[in-house]
């Protein structure tokens, strides 16, 4: 497949939750999460002139935290009013060092920062919607006013916040590319022997999302 020819007028890089809490040693560490930093640095220094970033930004006692549900453990799934909710270790607490954008990120091209998960009673994976899939973050309006129509996603985690963001972007009519080596996933096991990474990839491919290495984004 030939490299993608970039168009600065319509292309933007979406950096999803590139935060210390999702890196090794963090509160919710993604395996090899810090491996995304090198490819992302290349993307930020290359011909993608525009970027936005998201931050998980949770209050203490957030509904998605296992600690908010006595007797429950991290990575269990419970039913809530907006659907299934994976319970997580406490992470990305508002104002904490772990919730900041990673200090290795060059923020010169990051033109908007979307904070999500700040409502105590609802989790938020997607850059576009809370997990009820209807409450908007405002990102869609910002992108449309700016004229961006193609989004290149990078960050953490492939099977949750990156996947939900890419899926919603495709549903909203954007052309979507996931930069494979600039993402890492959690990989929770699923019934039938698969993982959340495999099922997310299949779901995104079915939605028309492309997967490319960063070397082909130039």
| 141 part of a folded domain | yes
Give the pLDDT confidence of 42-59 residue by residue, as tens digits: 999 998 999 999 999 999
* Sequence-separated (6 or more) residues with CB below 8 Å from residue 31: 184, 185, 186, 187
The CA dihedral of 17, 109, 171, 35, to the nearest 10 degrees, is -40
| 85 part of a folded domain | no
Give the domain CATH number at 27. Answer: 3.40.50.850
| 66 part of a folded domain | no
Question: pLDDT averaged over the chain?
Answer: 96
Active site residues: 17, 116, 161
Which three-class secondary structure string do you get for 143-184? HHHHCCCEEEEEEECHHHHHHHHHHHHHHCCCEEEEEEEEEE
| 55 part of a folded domain | yes
Tokens at 101, concatenated: 């954008």
| 76 part of a folded domain | no
| 46 part of a folded domain | yes
Answer yes or no: is pLDDT of 103 > 90. yes
Distance CA 28, CA 123 (A): 15
Residue range of the domain that includes 122? 11-59+90-216
Answer yes or no: is pLDDT of 128 > 70. yes
SS3 194: coil
| Count: domains in the chain | 1
| 201 part of a folded domain | yes
Tell me phi and psi for residue 157, to 5 degrees.
Answer: -105, 150
Q: What percentage of residues in the chain have a pLDDT greater than 90?
A: 94
| 191 part of a folded domain | yes
């Amino acid at each position: 497949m030939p490299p993608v020819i970039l168009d600065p007028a319509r292309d933007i890089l979406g950096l999803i939750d590139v935060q210390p809490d999702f890196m090794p040693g963090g509160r919710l560490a993604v395996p090899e999460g810090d491996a995304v930093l090198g490819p992302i640095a290349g993307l930020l220094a290359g011909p993608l002139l525009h970027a936005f970033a998201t931050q998980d930004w949770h209050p203490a006692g957030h509904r998605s935290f296992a600690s908010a549900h006595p007797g429950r453990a991290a990575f269990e799934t419970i039913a809530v009013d907006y659907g299934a909710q994976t319970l997580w270790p406490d992470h990305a607490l508002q104002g904490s060092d772990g919730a900041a954008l990673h200090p290795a990120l060059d923020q010169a091209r990051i033109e908007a920062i979307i904070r999500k998960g700040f409502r105590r009673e609802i989790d938020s994976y997607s850059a576009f919607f809370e997990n009820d899939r209807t409450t908007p973050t405002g990102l869609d309006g910002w992108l449309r006013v700016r004229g961006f129509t193609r989004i290149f996603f990078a960050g953490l985690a492939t099977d949750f916040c990156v996947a939900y963001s890419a899926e919603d972007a495709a549903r909203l009519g954007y052309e979507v590319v996931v930069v494979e080596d600039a993402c890492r996933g959690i990989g929770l096991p699923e019934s039938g022997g698969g993982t959340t990474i495999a099922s997310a990839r299949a779901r995104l491919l079915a939605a028309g999302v492309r997967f490319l290495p960063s070397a082909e984004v130039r």
